[in-house]
Structures are given as C-alpha cells and as structure tokens.
Chains A and B, each alone.
Chain A
Amino acid sequence: MIAAVVVFAYLATVLAIGVIARGRSRPGADAEDYFLAGRSLGPAVFLLSLFGANMTAFSILGASGHAFANGIVTYGLMASSSALIIPLCLFTIGTRLWALGVRHGFMTPVQMFRDRWECGHIGTVIFVVQAALLVPYIVIAVMGGGTTLAAVSNGRVPFWIGGGIVSLVVMGYVFFGGMRGTAWVNTFQTVLFLSFGAIAVAVVASGMGGFRAAMDSMLASPATAPLLTRERVSPLYFFSYTFIPLSSIAFPHIGIFCLTARRLDHFRKTIVLYPICMIAIWLPSVFLGVVANRAVDVPAIASKIEARATLATHAAALTPEARDQLRARASGDDVVLKLVEGYAPAWLAALLGAAVMAAVMASDSQILALSTMFTEDVFTFYRGTARFGQPVQVFTGRVFIVLLTIVAYLVALDAPQSIFDLATQYAFAGYSALAPLLVAALFWRRSTKWGALAVTLWTAAAVTAIAVLQAVVPAPPAGASVAIVSLAGVDVVTRVAAGTLVVGLLPVVPMTLASAILMVVVSRLTPRSLPRAATLARYDF
C-alpha cells in the first residue's frame, strides 16, 4: 500500500513538472520552443536529461534481469562498451549536429539529410524507417511501467492497468511541456535513479548479511559459479555488443537532444561524466541482479530460480507452451524490485520503487522525438506549416503524441518477449545499422542520396528478416542452437534461445558493416547525384 502511494505521488510530481514547464514557455512560443526548448538547455540539465533519455527500462530492469540469468557478463556487454562509444559519438557527431542545427535551423536529423544530399522523398523513407524502429523502444517503456507497478503493488495493479497509467502520465507531461518539460522530468528522474543504486546495494547487503558470504556460496555451487565469470559467452558474442552503442547517436531522440544545448561547451561535461553516470547506474543493477541468485529466502525470487532450474533440466520434455510459461516465471525483469522488497522496510522499498519507475518512464523523449519528426519531416516538408501556420504545427505534434501513445500501449499488451531481447534485436540493431548515414553525411563528401537510400532499405529489410525468422523458427532451449543457413559445414545463421546469430555474432555486426559497405559502393556508382558544391560547402567544418 505504502509503495503504491509513493509511486503514485511520484507520477503526480512528474506530471506537475510538465505542466509547470508549459508555463515557462516564451509568450507566443514557436515550434522551436516546444520541440527543442528554444535551444536553451544549460550544462546540468543537458547532461542529466541526455543521459536519462538514453536510460530506459532496459538499464535497470533489463540489465538486472539479464544479470540474474547470465551473470556479470551483462556489465561488459552493454555498460562499459557504451561508456566508451556513446560519448565518443557525442564528441565527433553530436557536436557537429549541434553546430549545423544552430547554423541552418535543423530540428531533426532527416532535415539535415535532406539538405546534405539534396533529396526529398528519400528523406521521407528515412523518416518511416526511423519511426518504425523507434516504436519498439517506446513499447519497452510501457512494458517496464506495467511490470514495475504490478510488482510494487504486489499484483493489485495488473500489468495492463500499470502500463496504461504510465503511458497516460508520460503522454501528459510531453503533451504539455514539450522538450522543456521532457528535459526537466528527465533531469529529475536521472537524479532519482542515480541515487537508487547506492541505497539499494546498501539495503540488500545489510539484508543478506553482507555480500562476501553470498559470493562464496555462489562460487561453491556449480549452478551459480559460472555467473561470476563469462565462460558461458563466446568472445565473438561479447565483441558483437560493442556495435550496439552506435545506435545511440542514430536514435532520433538523441540526435534531437544534441540540438537543445545552449552552447557547444555544454557537451564537454556530458562527454566526460557520461561513463561515471553509467557506472553509477549499471554496476549496482548488474551486481544486484547477480546476487539475487542467492536470495532464496525471498519467495518470489526462489520461484524464479526454481523455474529456471526446471527449464535447464527438463526443457526438451516440455511443450512449447509450458516452456514459455516457465520462461515468463523465470524472467528476471522485476528481480531488483523483489530483492529490495525482500530486504528493505516498506517505506524504503516504496521510494526505491519510485526510482525504478523513473528509469522505466524514459520513453518521453522518444515520443517527443517522433512527434517532432512527424511535424517537421512530414507536416512541414509537405507544406503543412506554410499553409496552416506554426500553432497548427504544434497542435498536430500534440495529436500525434496521443495517437502514438495509444498504439505503443496496445502493442505492449501483446508483446511476449522479455524487455532485453526486444530492445536488442529490433531498435538497437536497426539504429546501429543506420549510423553510417550520419558518418557519411558529416564526414564523406562523395556520399550520395542513393547510398543513403540503400542503407535505409537494407536496414529495414534486415530487421524485418530477423523478425520473420524468429517468428517462424521457435527459440530452442537455452544452450541449444538450430542451424538455419549452413555453408561448407559452417553454420552461418543460427537460432539460439536469445535470438539469432550470424557466424557466432549478433546480427548487428553484419548489419552495420553491410550498411557502411552499401553507402560506399552505391555512392561510388552514382557520382552524378553528388550535391552541388555550394551545398557541400555548408558541411565543411
């Protein structure tokens, strides 16, 4: 009960922030003020809101759940690689996006692509693919919200109501506050979940009687000792994950966030402190997910461990339905919440639940980005703003936010995969494969619009192929693999429990490399489509 009250108070607070932000808009505010906060964010808000925009349900719930099942490897897979790649992308690409945005008034990446490659409808194709890839990311947040509210209310708020409440609150403050409201809420949320880790670790350590005994006990058991190493993961698979963070700068909401800084210098602190923020969030999340394997005195966690053991020993004898049920029971997406509930007093568990809520509600910037893209890349591009004016443009953006939220919610109700799988296989891999678009636009004068189109269509085809493959070929039991394509005795494409592998690598690697090759080859084949010299001169940094 206390937990539910605290979480609902939290939801009311963020909604209020959105409404207050609306009051801080400039009188007669234009589209730039609503969608980009008038390019006026200061250094602290820029750092915390940009970081918060990158953290989703994935970072606390997904990371802990993955660590619960796979061990310490989770941190190396996503956190330490992101700590390097994402700030480097901000350093090399983000700063240039900012400069171009200030100089030419761009509000979305597609506007820049259209200008850079002198194209119109190809820009629309890029918009469609970007939008289609962003929706799963928003779905993750709805799922995370439903899972969290169900967990903190001990099931009294069912998943479908929890997801609906979270969707409504996010929609509310994005609708009212635009980018300013979103950035303020993100800042508030980031501060909350940055403090979550240390408190949660201290509480759980105290409840478990210290971590030394838990570690010794895990090392002594053949079932849990591998979780403290990376022996269950191949080096190739581990290497694949360094391609995933390339997706960050290609996500439109991160690209658009780069345009909101008041000054170029605001990037400095963001770049340097980004890895520190990563460690503050991910290290506790991963560590707690791992030690949850010794929290057998917490009934909800004991039930998960039992389901996982049954899956490991009897999976072959089970029907696919029974396997799916056991997988759902063994899922670790709510393991941190269960851990904190098991060891913290009710009021503290409630506060920590609110902090987790903060993390899972990070879909705001994606929703706003899609709205910005729709109004700028479609509505304005096809003369809507010229005919109806900027107030109608902003109104259209708000209607779009409502419709998008409803669609994401309905998809979330029927999405069976775990948060982590959905994020990795669809949105992240797709955006990593789109990253060569940005690199070519900013750094390669000989790139052409046909190269850009080839990259975009390839990304759409590859993501669709993976989705179809995984729908047609059911996931085998953990540890097993099904060969889909073999050449000369080598398994090229295989289906495994966690998804699909290409020569042992995640699909993101061949997808991204093929994108880069396509950009080069197709641009070289279409030299007549090079933009005019005057256009290229605008991109000489």
Chain B
Amino acid sequence: MFAALIVALVYALHQDVWFWREARPLVLGFLPIGLFYHAAYTVGVSLLLSWLVRRHWPRHLDAFSRE
C-alpha cells in the first residue's frame, strides 16, 4: 500500500504546473528549468524503481513458472 502511494505521488509530480510558464533559471546556463525538472524527474523515477525492485520483487513468480 505504501509503495502504491509513493508511485501515485511520483505520477502526480509529473504534472509540474509550477514551472509551466517559466524558462528561467537556465540550469548550467543553458537548460530551461522545465526541461531540467523533467530530466531530474526521470533520474528520480529510476531511484524509485530501484527501491521497488529491491523491496517488492515478485520472487514467487520464479517458483510459479517452474510448477
């Protein structure tokens, strides 16, 4: 349940209305903030998936497949 809530929260964070009309600040001098946010979001998603895979891996499917 906790994992589902975290996933739902991350899904909601995709809708970043707070940077909708802003280009500045330019991260590293050239990356508009809206684009940087979504690049950082993508890295964050990878971290979330890493946690999901470690904590909630469906190990039982291995045994299921051999039955």
- A230 and B30 contact, Cβ closer than 8 Å, known pairs A84-B45, A87-B49, A103-B67: no
Q: Is A522 an interface residue (CB 8 A)?
A: no
What is the interface of chain B, defined by CB distance below 8 A to chain A?
7, 10-11, 14-17, 19-24, 26, 29-32, 34-35, 38-39, 41-43, 45-46, 48-50, 52-53, 57-58, 60-62, 64-67
Q: Is A160 an interface residue (CB 8 A)?
A: no
Residues on A with C-beta less than 8 A from B39 are: 75, 80, 279, 283
Asked if A272 and B23 sit within 8 Å, CB to CB, the answer is no
Asked if A279 and B32 sit within 8 Å, CB to CB, the answer is no
CA A210 to CA B30, docked complex, whole Å: 9
Kindly identify which residue among B30, B35, B49 contacts A286, using a CB–CB cutoff of 8 Å. B35
Which of A93-101, A299-307, A487-495 has 4 or more CB atoms under 8 Å from chain B?
Answer: A93-101
Asked if B61 and A235 sit within 8 Å, CB to CB, the answer is no
Residue of B nearest to A268 (CB): B53
Asked if B42 and A80 sit within 8 Å, CB to CB, the answer is yes
A-B contact count (CB 8 A): 129
Kindly identify which residue among A212, A268, A278 contacts B57, using a CB–CB cutoff of 8 Å. A268
Q: Can you add 15 more A-B contacts, CB < 8 Å, to A229-B19, A231-B20?
A: A73-B34, A80-B42, A83-B46, A95-B61, A102-B66, A215-B26, A219-B23, A229-B20, A229-B22, A230-B19, A235-B15, A275-B43, A276-B43, A278-B42, A286-B35
Interface size class of A (residues with CB under 8 A): 35 or more
CA A87 to CA B50, docked complex, whole Å: 11
Residues on B with C-beta less than 8 A from A100 are: 65
Q: Is A72 an interface residue (CB 8 A)?
A: yes
- A271 and B53 contact, Cβ closer than 8 Å, known pairs A72-B34, A80-B41, A103-B67: yes
Query: What is the CB-to-nearest-CB distance from B60 to chain A, in angstroms, rounded to a whole number?
Result: 7
User: Ordered nearest first, which 7 A-B pairs have the shortest CB separation?
Assistant: A228-B23, A211-B30, A102-B65, A275-B46, A99-B61, A99-B65, A72-B35
Residues on B with C-beta less than 8 A from A88 are: 7, 49
Query: What is the CB-to-nearest-CB distance from B55 to chain A, in angstroms, rounded to a whole number?
Result: 12
Asked if B32 and A229 sit within 8 Å, CB to CB, the answer is yes
Asked if B42 and A272 sit within 8 Å, CB to CB, the answer is no
Q: Among A210, A225, A242, A275, which residue has the most Cβ atoms of chain B within 10 A? A: A275
